[in-house]
Structure 1
Amino acid sequence: MATLRELKGRIGSVASSEKITGAMKMISSAKMHRAESDLRRLLPFRQQIENIIGNLLTADAEFSSPLTDERDVNSVAVAVFGSDDGLCGAYNINLFKELLAVLRGYREKFGAGVRVTVIPVGRKMVKATSKLNLPGVSVEPASGVDSKSGGDLVKDFTRH
């Protein structure tokens, strides 16, 4: 049977762990609110694009563009943004499972001849996707971009 001193030690340890998890919860909540506000700022742009496309589709005028021509799909690129933070193993595993489902869907939709390039972002996602050994699938890690990169660095990467 545990002594009173041991019980007090365990209670103190649990209280300390609760403080740490409470702080982690507050930090993740703040990050989530910041991401949500960033998405809310983009909403007017999305609505404007939807209005423009809706007006183009309802107009009786004939519109042609190389972007609207229907053509066969020969190659597809998929960017997978993983996390390198601690306690994100389940998140990365779920991303990887979803990636496999997406790749399978592309095979079914476009046929076995489609070339798929997977662009993993984040050290752990690069490691997971490096083991992909599927025909027609190549992995090209985004060098210089990781899970902590800001938007400006990602924009610069996509321009190259």
Structure 2
Amino acid sequence: MGRQVTFFAAPDDIAQLQHRIGDIEPMCILHDRSPTAKPRVLPTLDVAEDGQSLLFYFLVREIDLAQVVTRHVPAQGYWTVDVLRSPVVEFDGCFFDGTVLRRGRVYYVEGFYGENDEWIEKPEGFRSWAKRVLKATKKCLKRRGSDYIGAAAAEWLAQGDGKLVT
């Protein structure tokens, strides 16, 4: 079963959210793609490559980093994190260009079906941490319908400069 929180967050909100989540327990931020089977660790949730902001990350407790499973995508020539089998929280950032702010989400799965169709729960330590990540996200942002919104994003929206896109 998966759990998620969807949100609208401007860059300042994302920085605040990263800080709040990082206070829970030491964690690493992973890029969604890597040139090798080893996950690619990033310093922040605000990374740009080739002039483009990255939007797709994985969060993992430092103590779980060695448990991250990757899978090869031969047609594309990279490795990606296997979210089902890894103790990771998926963090999809919000595209923001000053005119449009797209919805992001924080998501994790509690387990998966193994080779013999048996349910395999992820470790309790991971599940507990992942629940705290979602709780911290909700506390850092304000509820707006079924989503949450950051203070900077709400201020930007109130100025009438753009629109939210789901």
Q: What TM-score range do you get, normalising by the shorter chain?
A: under 0.3
Q: Structure 1 or 2: larger helix share?
A: 1
Question: With CA pairs under 8 Å and 6+ residues apart, which has the higher RCO, 1 or 2?
Answer: 2
